[in-house]
Amino acid sequence: MFKSGFIGIIGRPNVGKSTLLNSLIGDKIAITTHKPQTTRNKIMGIKNIENGQLIFLDTPGIHKVSSPLNQFMVATAMDTFRNADILLLLVEVTSGIHRDDQHIVNSLQDIRLPVILIINKIDLVRKNIILPLMDRFRQIFPFTEIIPVSALSNEGVPILIEQLWKLLPEGPRYFPEDMMTDRTERFIASEIIREKITLLTHQEIPYATAVVVETFKEDESKNLIRIQAAINVAKDSQKGILIGKKGSMLKEIGKRARLDMEKFFAARIYLELFVRVRKDWTHDPRMLKEFGYAD
């Protein structure tokens, strides 16, 4: 029997949703960092197995909303409540039942879908704390299953795939077998740049940055891709920080992004970065739309 369906991955920021998506797919399509609110858009990852197609939807972390950008992010995550066949609620084993996990559980009360609780990051703790935590979670919601995993080491991930297959309905192969994501190469390139910015800069800078790939030209005869990208920031002072002393910060961002892109695209990359100030873009509906943060 061939089974298929859409599986939403939800949870508060930083619990490892994108790491789990990558682990399920077996390739890095979603960026991951140690800082919360890394993911801003829904990212589809397609997993083909012998007798099924599992379509995962990585989502932004659900959190208290403070700006129009955050509003878009949380609305994107909540959207999967309606558009999925199964929900995976991800929590991290090191936080117990976090207040924000409880808030998400509260918003699941009217949901008809199967909800699987994934307790992530089990590589960080001794095994004997996992079972009691599973019991505590079982008392706050009738989860269809509770599965402990380590998205980072892949432990528990094959079991999760098996369980998902059992729960999915019979269905077609929705997407061609060689398709890994719904996101374009341009989007992935811009996200890789944003990952490096988030890792290399501090305070508000990652949250004030939007990257747009303006040129993506493949020269197949040379196995070379030429990429030009604009890094948009909200204030003049942020531009200075991103460029750095004699351009050193921008150079480092470019170098690290290029190395990742060369791996992902299996080609040589020629990468050019520009920094632009777009005043207060996180509060401007038109610019949010331009940067891909609107419906």
Return the residue of 8, 52, 61, 254 that touches ligand GTP, per CB under 6 A: 61
* 73, 24 contact by CB (below 8 A): no
Return the residue of 4, 18, 201, 238 that touches ligand GTP, per CB under 6 A: 18
Closest separation in Å from C-beta 194 to Mg ion: 11
Rg of the chain on CA atoms, in Å = 20
- d(C-alpha 121, C-alpha 234), whole Å: 34
Tokens encoding 87:
């929900």
121-160 residues near ligand GTP, rule: CB under 6 A: 121, 123-124, 150-152
Q: Which does 19 bind (CB under 5 to 8 A by kind): Mg ion, ligand GTP, none?
A: ligand GTP
Q: Is residue 150 a contact residue for Mg ion (CB under 5 A)?
A: no
Return the residue of 7, 10, 15, 208 that touches ligand GTP, per CB under 6 A: 15
Would you call 116 exposed, middle or buried from its count of C-beta atoms within 10 A (0-12, 13-18, 19+)? buried
Nearer to Mg ion, 39 or 70 (CB): 39
Scored b (16 or more CB within 10 A) or e, 169-194 reads: eeeeeebeeeebbebebebbbbbbbb
Return the residue of 8, 28, 29, 38 that touches ligand GTP, per CB under 6 A: 38
Bridge partners (DSSP) of residue 7 are 56, 86
Q: Which stretch binds ligand GTP (CB under 6 A): 31-39, 185-193, 276-284, 287-295?
A: 31-39
- d(C-alpha 68, C-alpha 225), whole Å: 34
- d(C-alpha 116, C-alpha 192), whole Å: 30
Nearer to ligand GTP, 14 or 232 (CB): 14
Return the residue of 4, 22, 23, 39 that touches Mg ion, per CB under 5 A: 39
Nearer to Mg ion, 90 or 249 (CB): 90
95-124 residues near ligand GTP, rule: CB under 6 A: 120-121, 123-124
Q: Which stretch binds Mg ion (CB under 5 A): 32-40, 150-158, 169-177, 202-210?
A: 32-40
Cα 169-152-25 angle, rounded to 5 deg: 40
- d(C-alpha 71, C-alpha 292), whole Å: 13
Distance from the Cα of residue 41 to its chain's centroid: 7
* 2, 172 contact by CB (below 8 A): yes
Q: Nearest to ligand GTP by Cβ — which residue?
A: 61
Q: Which stretch binds ligand GTP (CB under 6 A): 29-37, 96-104, 135-143, 253-261?
A: 29-37
> Hunting for tokens 């949703």 — which residue is that?
17
Tokens encoding 214:
């303006």
Nearer to ligand GTP, 8 or 60 (CB): 60
Q: Which does 33 bind (CB under 5 to 8 A by kind): ligand GTP, Mg ion, none?
A: ligand GTP
- d(C-alpha 151, C-alpha 19), whole Å: 6
Closest separation in Å from C-beta 245 to ligand GTP: 28
Strands 52-58 and 43-49, bridge-based pairing: antiparallel
Q: Is residue 37 a contact residue for ligand GTP (CB under 6 A)?
A: yes
Nearer to ligand GTP, 38 or 76 (CB): 38
For residue 25, the one-letter residue type is I
Residues making contact with ligand GTP (CB under 6 A): 11, 13-19, 32-34, 36-39, 60-61, 120-121, 123-124, 150-152
Residues making contact with Mg ion (CB under 5 A): 17-18, 38-39
